[in-house]
Structures are given as structure tokens and as C-alpha cells.
Amino acid sequence: MDNAISLTAVPINTAVFIYDIKKSPCRNRLYELGFTKGTRVIPLHINPGKSAVAYFVKGAVIALRNSDAENIYVMGDKA
């Protein structure tokens, strides 16, 4: 799908749904933490150095570095 954007481009407090996760060393860890296809994700806080963002996912708040979150592609509604 062409209208999927990277998770890092989503504004704070906007709910989006995961479309795909690109292959990367931490992909498995992301899966286990609940970043799976179709899951709703909401960015909540940006850290002071703007290097990481805290996301709401499956009931938990998880901080991801932008270089990892870049690999997650999301869409505005459930595909």
C-alpha cells in the first residue's frame, strides 16, 4: 500500500494501525512487545533529546528509539 507512512511521522496522540515492519535486528523484539500487524499504536511523549518516542501499544507504554520506530509502517485505519 502506498499510503503507509513511517511511525516516526505520526503526530503525538494520534491513533494509527500497524501495516508492516521492515526487516531489522530488533523486529522480533517489537513483535513480542505487541507491535504486530493491525495493532493500534498511539505516540504519547517525545523525549527531551528528540531521539525516542513513547508509544501506547496493547495496554503498555513502550519507548522506542526513532531509528527503530522508522522501520514500522502504519496507516490511518485498519487495513
Partner 1 sequence: MKKILLVGNPNTGKSTIFNALTGKHQHTGNWSGKTVGNASGIMRYKGEEFEITDLPGIYSLEPISEDEIQAVECLRSNIADLIVVVLDATCLERNLILASDITRLCTNVIVCVNLIDEAEKKGIEVDTVKLSNMLRVKVIPTKARSGIGIDLLKEAIYTQNEKCRCCCCSPECIYKSCVYSGQDITNNRDRKIDRILTSRVFGIPIMLFMLCCILWITIWGANYPSGILSSLFGRIENILLELFADMPVVRGVLIEGVFRTLSWVVAVMLPPMAIFFPLFTILEDLGYLPRIAFNLDHIFKKVNAHSKMVLSMCMGLGCNAAGVISTRIIESKKERLIAIITNNFMPCNGRFSSLIMLAAVFISGGMFASIKVALAVTAAILSGVFITFMISYILSNTILKGEGSSFILELPPYRAPQPMAIIRRSIRERIVYVLFRAVIVAAPAGALIWLLQNITVNDITLLSHIAGFLDPFARIMGIDGYILTAFIIGLPANEIVIPIVLMCYTGNSGLIEFNSLSELGMLLRAHNWTYITAICAMIFSLNHFPCATTLLTIKKETGSIKWTVLSFLIPTIVGVVLCILANAILRIAAL
List residues near partner 1 by CB under 8 A. 13, 25-26, 28-34, 42, 44-52, 54, 56-65, 67-68
Taking the complex as a whole, the smallest distance from the CB of residue 44 to partner 1 amounts, in Å, to 6
Alpha helices in the chain, H assignment, sequence order: 27-32, 66-69
Question: Shortest distance, CB of residue 57 to partner 1, whole angstroms?
Answer: 8
Least Å from the CB of residue 2 to partner 1? 27
Joined together, the cell numbers standing for residue 15 give: 491513533
- State the virtual CA torsion across 24, 26, 27, 28 in degrees, nearest 10: 140
